[in-house]
Amino acid sequence: MSRSSSIEHKARNSVQSPLPVRQIQPCEAICPLARRLPVKALRACFLRNMNQHFGGVSLPVSKKRYQAFQVLLEAITVAFRPHVFLKSAITRIYRINGTQLLSIDDFYEGDIVICCCQYEPFVDVGYNVSTHYMRILGSLIRMRGKMVPIEKKVVPQTDADGIINYDRSRLPQAILLYIDITKPIWVNKSTVIFEGSGRARKDKHYIIKMVDKEHMCSRTNGTYFEIEILRKLQDHPNIIDLIYTVEQLKYIYIVIERLECDLFELLQRKKRFPETLVKKIMGDVSKGLAYIHACQIIHRDLKLDNLLVQFDFSVPLDPVVKVIKISDFGLATYYKGRELYQCCGTPHYMAPELINFTGYEFSVDLWSLGVTFYYMLFGRLPFAHSESDPVTVQEFIRRNNYQIPPDWKMKISPQAQQLVKSLLVKLPQYRLSAIEVCQHPFLLNRRSGSL
């Protein structure tokens, strides 16, 4: 998925003449930072008219820097020339809803505007804004929350049954402005997950994760670092892309890319995966996990549901798995050189040392990777597959060793069986590390991840 963000376009014609000029509308519907902040310069993103893929340039706007509006237009022209084709100098600026800006006083913090050359009509082509600027915008929104007194708002509450009583119409304006929220796909005590698509670009799909901060901090003993960790891990291709975040007093909203499905959904359709596909998946996940551990982070909830799939549909017959990305860092935490003792995660994937409260570190993720690996090979969990009670599952893991189904021993390669054995080791000091999994013979000479 492209690392760019779609922006909203309000109701309008696909091609608009610059005349007549419309009056400036109340900016709450135009820009998530409608009020001007007490800063020396306002930051705005300038996009090129009729250029859909140019992510724009970010410039500070102030009267001290540009004494006249014409000086700003000249500065934009100079900034554009190395990047895009210009028929002439920039002569007009419009907001994304088609409202023309006539002076520097018309700008607001976080504005996203379209720049037109002379005799050029403003055209709606579904503009993209660079992810870099969207992250800056998220930071500005959080800054405003600290600088401006918080107004009393109606926020989602929690029902008596412990499920968040969400209302998608009350999501922050910074979400609704750019994303068309379609439906919730997951609701529990601390989290609501929505699907959405870009308002301007319907082919851009997102997941919006709404998190109850107080509940998550309680669940993680005050170690909820999801946003901070996601930002830190954004340089790796096997980590889910963070688009931007919005933080309120009670809730955090995390906007990430939406891929085609997760591995659990795929496995339910396929029952089990061929070894060629398992090699591809294990290669991607182990590389992503090695990067996570190198950043001194423990995921603590690695499982099929949190491994997302992006397909390559260019193959004529069956789609090929293009990449696997690790997601859901809600339980992730930092390792600071001392063993952790908090028991958290998904029961079937929990390592023995985590269940027994004997102290753990990175190796709990390798146990979870081993459970995931086994599940993909054999189509069932290695421990208590048919049980759902967490206590029963944990007791089964404590007292039993995994078994390879007898009818599968001749069908699964020796290298695959050896890797399972090296991961599902009850003593963590003898378990492979993520780097060692990357170098395991089973993962060498990988072919395509065809289904």
In-domain check, residue 198: yes
* CB distance 274 to 282 below 8 Å: no
Q: Helix H segments across 220-360?
A: 226-232, 263-270, 275-294, 352-355
Does an H or E element contain 30, and which? none
Per-residue pLDDT at 306:
95
Q: How far apart are CA 175 and CA 186, in angstroms?
A: 18
Q: Are strands 57-61 and 111-117 parallel, antiparallel or unpaired?
A: unpaired
Beta bridge partners of 46: 57, 113
Domain count, the chain: 3
Instruction: List Cβ neighbours of 166 (8 Å cut-off, separation of 6 or more).
Output: 156, 184, 187, 192, 210
Per-residue pLDDT at 137:
75
Listing DSSP states for 179-247 in one string gives: EEEEEEEEE-SSEEEEEEEESS-TT-EEEEEEEEHHHHHHHTTT---HHHHHHHTTT-TTBPPEEEEEE
**Alpha carbon 375 to chain centroid, angstroms:** 25
Per-residue pLDDT at 157:
44
In-domain check, residue 404: yes
**123 and 28, same structural domain?**
yes
Q: How far apart are CA 164 and CA 89, in angstroms?
A: 52
Per-residue pLDDT at 26:
38
Give the structural domain span for 304. Answer: 261-443
Residue with tokens 């170690």: 223
Beta bridge partners of 158: 164
Whole-model pTM? 0.65
Per-residue pLDDT at 185:
85
In-domain check, residue 136: no
Per-residue pLDDT at 451:
56
**439 and 324, same structural domain?**
yes
Residue with tokens 């439906």: 183
**290 and 217, same structural domain?**
no
SS3 breakdown of the chain: % helix, strand, coil, rounded to 5?
30, 25, 45
Q: At what angle do helices 363-378 and 414-423 cross, to 10 degrees?
A: 140
**296 and 425, same structural domain?**
yes
The tens-digit pLDDT sequence of the chain (451 residues) is 444 444 433 333 333 333 333 333 333 334 545 444 444 578 888 999 988 888 889 888 888 888 889 999 999 999 999 889 898 999 999 987 778 899 888 888 788 899 999 888 888 777 778 877 877 777 766 665 554 443 333 344 444 445 565 665 578 888 888 888 887 888 877 888 999 988 877 778 999 999 988 888 777 777 789 999 999 998 899 999 999 999 888 889 999 999 989 999 999 988 889 999 999 999 999 999 999 999 999 999 999 999 999 988 776 667 788 999 999 999 999 999 999 998 889 999 999 999 999 999 999 999 999 999 999 999 999 998 878 888 899 999 999 999 998 888 889 999 999 999 999 999 999 999 999 999 999 998 655 555 5
**210 and 76, same structural domain?**
no
Q: Is 301 a catalytic residue?
A: yes
**118 and 18, same structural domain?**
yes
**17 and 97, same structural domain?**
yes
- End of a domain among 240, 257, 274? 257
Could you say which of 301, 312, 318, 389 is catalytic?
Answer: 301
**371 and 249, same structural domain?**
no
In-domain check, residue 26: yes
